Amino acid sequence: MRKKIFIFIMMISFIFPAYAETVLFMKPVTKGIEKSEANKIIKKLEAAVNSKLNAVSYKSISKAKLKKFTECGSKVECWSENAADEDFQYVLLTVIKTNEDEEVSVKFALINIEEEDSDNLPKTYDSVDDITDKVLLAQIKKLSGYDSIKGGKKSKNEDEIARRMKKEEERQEKERKKLEDERKKREREIEKQQKEEERLAKDRKKKKRIEDERLRREEEAEMARLEKERERREIEKRKEKEGKKQSLRDNESDLRKGRELILEQCAQGNYSKAIEYINKLSTKKCECDEDQNVATLKAQLLQFNKVLKQILKGIEAKNSALILDNIEAAKALDESIVEGGTEFSQKVDKYAATGWLARGREMEKANKYIEANEAFEKCIEVDPEKSECNEWLENKPKLVKKIYTMANLSKDNNPTKAKELLRAILKLVTAENEYYKKAESDLQILGY
């Protein structure tokens, strides 16, 4: 009896620790999350820690010590060396960050300084609103060292322990009686189950004999049915083979006529309709060259449509790279689809001029005036009627004056930039222009 009491007292001492270990709650590290959102989570985390843990906050640690502890990070050896004389035995580290799906990840690391051990537990939440102090505390509770740091109380007095022991003995007696009753009940159920199994075994044997006979009759009937089905399928296969041959002959004519119709649509510039037609036509098959002709035409059309979309996208976005990088490829594809090209080939110079116009705007915006001038001249070369390019070239003297002013302003504080601007003037205008002479003179002073 005394042995039981001693064991129970030991159990009570483990269930109700005299004091809980102390944990240092370090300032959470945040990555890739807005400060306001991070602060919300940190406040909830502080509330959870203060409500249930025997903790000391980083806010109450001196700046010198806090700096030293911060450098330790998650290195257990560093904590053991630098915090061995502190009043806390555990350190709770937290990392809060967001991922590409805008989910919030909260990762806890609980470091046992005395045992030089650590425990990590990450968890991902759909949004900041899903994170409360309760769910954070629930996550912390899953850490293996939680029981050592949760808020503890002093053990009850001896009367309380005796009361608990008596209550435990009564509970154990009730449990013993309950187990005995369950044992007897199980024995009765086993006996009943054995009798039921014997009855079921007899029924199964009888049903098996009946089922075997039924299966035998069904098997004979199925074999007769399969033989009839085989004969029927042989007849259908012969008919289907003849039908396929006729279908292939018909498809050859349809493919030839369909391809001619698609080429007519291409010549008129109706590429979307041509692709729609050829997608339908490519489902037809024949034992002839038209199969390959249609497949080749389909591949050319799809590639041309892809490149054309890039050009039109570039025109809409005024992106010169998208236009100019795809012009030649589109033209080559267009001419391979229809000899001499389709309606696109008649517009290709207009598209190219738009690309050079966009390139000129981009270079001018980047203060690359020589490249801008080359782009606008190329624009006029492919489309002499492009008004924006003509207007830019006509206003070039005004631009040169502006560049010269910018060069003068840069002479003192950025002579390198001033030289670049002055050299640009020499490329943009002829020697007869007054700013050409000024730029040349200034360059001689600044030194080429």
| DSSP, residue by residue, 40-90 | HHHHHHHHHHHHHB-EEEGGGS-HHHHHHHHHHTT-HHHHHHHSTTSS-SE
Using 50, 70 and 90 to split pLDDT, how confident is the model at 403?
A: very high
On the question of pLDDT at 359 being above 90, the answer is yes
Look up residue 36 and give its two tokens.
């306001």
The 10 Å Cβ neighbour count of residue 415 is: 13
What is the arithmetic mean of pLDDT over 424-447?
90
Average pLDDT over residues 420-448: 89
- Alpha-carbon distance of 400 to 425, in angstroms, equals 6
For residue 388, the model assigns a pLDDT of 94
pLDDT of residue 247: 65
At 275, the pLDDT band (50, 70, 90 cuts) reads: confident
Predicted confidence (pLDDT) per residue in 82-111, tens digit:
887 787 889 888 999 888 777 888 888 888
Q: What value does the mean pLDDT take over residues 412-419? A: 90
**At 169, is the pLDDT very low, low, confident or very high (cuts 50, 70, 90)?**
confident
Mean per-residue pLDDT for 372-399? 94
CA 431 → CA 45, 427, 439, 448, distances in Å? 74, 10, 10, 17
What are the angstrom distances between the C-alpha of 25 and each of 48, 112, 115, 128?
11, 13, 18, 21
Contact between 151 and 52 (Cβ < 8 Å)? yes
| Complete domains list, the chain, with CATH | 17-149 (3.40.50.10070), 300-446 (no CATH)
Q: What confidence category does residue 250 fall into, taking pLDDT thresholds of 50, 70 and 90?
A: low
pLDDT at 244 over 60: yes
Query: Which residue do the tokens 């470091």 mark?
Result: 111
